[in-house]
DNA sequence: TATATTTGCAACCAATTAGTTTCATATAAA
DNA sequence: TTTATATGAAACTAATTGGTTGCAAATATA
């Protein structure tokens, strides 16, 4: 099983979970209310996010609050760095201008 | 079939392809030489990247040069924006300091 | 023209994924 | 103590994924 941050964010439900807990720590039950699937399905996503170290947990009695661990998100940001240089370059912008002109001519 | 940028970058081979063509446009055959799999397998990855609009192609006789279209990469960057605010915040940094102290105590 | 090269596509297959239902355990509340 | 609630884990399933081989079409080269 591949368990990395890229695989973690590949699923739309997991991305939604990440966004939700980024705003505020939540229990699996509270999270599940936001989705049209069983609590167990959501829990499986949480498990994957935990394995990928995208979330941290905090036990409070029988409840478990999940919150975001931003370190792995930074990893994606770091990977994007190499492309940022390209899309910020003048050459690339010129390329975009040219393709816009092409589209207008059609 | 889900075909979005997040699914596109989920596979390590596809991420490698993206990095390679970001440096210079390449044909499928040239790309395939970098991987330990058949040319057809690489071509299938290229097809997915095309469907996700991560790559653009340029025909040159019977050869097809694939190059990166950075627009979709920007989309990831945009999604990360909401978390950037968190990991750059003082509160989060304090949180990291505290967890570092905890680890040291162990 | 005959042959070689570059490419995409279809059929197939094993492993993985994302969901389900069922169940066990731990904690809280009556 | 009994009952309700919160959670995780296991077993199962259908769909998807990532690879393979084989083939057809288009273009280049001898």
Instruction: Show the CA angle centred on residue B45, arms to residues B42 and B48, nearest 5°.
Output: 155
Residue by residue, pLDDT tens for chain B (106 residues) are 789 999 999 999 999 999 999 999 999 999 999 999 999 999 999 999 999 999 999 999 999 999 999 999 999 999 999 999 998 886 666 666 555 555 554 4
For residues A77 and A86, the answer to whether their CB atoms sit within 8 Å is: no
Task: List residues with CB under 7 Å of strand C.
Answer: A 1-2, 7, 10-11, 13, 37-38, 40-41, 44-45, 48, 61-62; B 27-30, 39-40, 43, 46-47, 57, 62-64
CB pairs under 8 A between A and B: 58
Can you tell me the distance from the alpha carbon of A22 to that of B39, in angstroms, rounded to the nearest whole number?
41
Q: What was the pLDDT predicted at B14?
A: 98
For residues A7 and A49, the answer to whether their CB atoms sit within 8 Å is: no
A15, A71, A80 member nearest B73 (Cβ): A80
- Model pTM score: 0.88
For residues A24 and A68, the answer to whether their CB atoms sit within 8 Å is: no
Q: For residue A75, what is the nearest residue in chain B, using CA coordinates?
A: B80
Does residue B53 come out as left (phi exceeding 0), alpha (psi in the -120 to 50 range) or beta? left
Q: Encoding tokens for residue B44?
A: 């299938």
Chain A contacts of B84, Cβ < 8 Å? 77
> Which residue's alpha carbon is at the shortest distance from the C1' of D5?
A62
Contact of B97 with chain A, judged by CB distance below 8 Å, is answered with: no
CA dihedral A38, A42, A44, A48 (to 10 degrees): 170
Instruction: Give the pLDDT band of residue A95 (cuts 50, 70, 90).
Output: low
């Amino acid at each position: 099983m591949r368990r990395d941050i890229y695989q973690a964010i590949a699923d739309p439900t997991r991305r939604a979970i990440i966004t939700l807990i980024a705003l505020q720590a939540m229990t699996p039950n509270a999270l599940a209310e936001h989705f049209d699937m069983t609590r167990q399905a959501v829990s499986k996503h949480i498990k994957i996010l935990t394995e990928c170290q995208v979330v941290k947990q905090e036990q409070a009695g029988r409840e478990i609050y999940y919150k975001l661990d931003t370190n792995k998100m930074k990893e994606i940001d770091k990977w994007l760095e190499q492309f940022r240089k390209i899309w910020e370059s003048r050459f690339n912008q010129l390329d975009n201008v040219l393709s816009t002109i092409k589209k207008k001519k059609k």
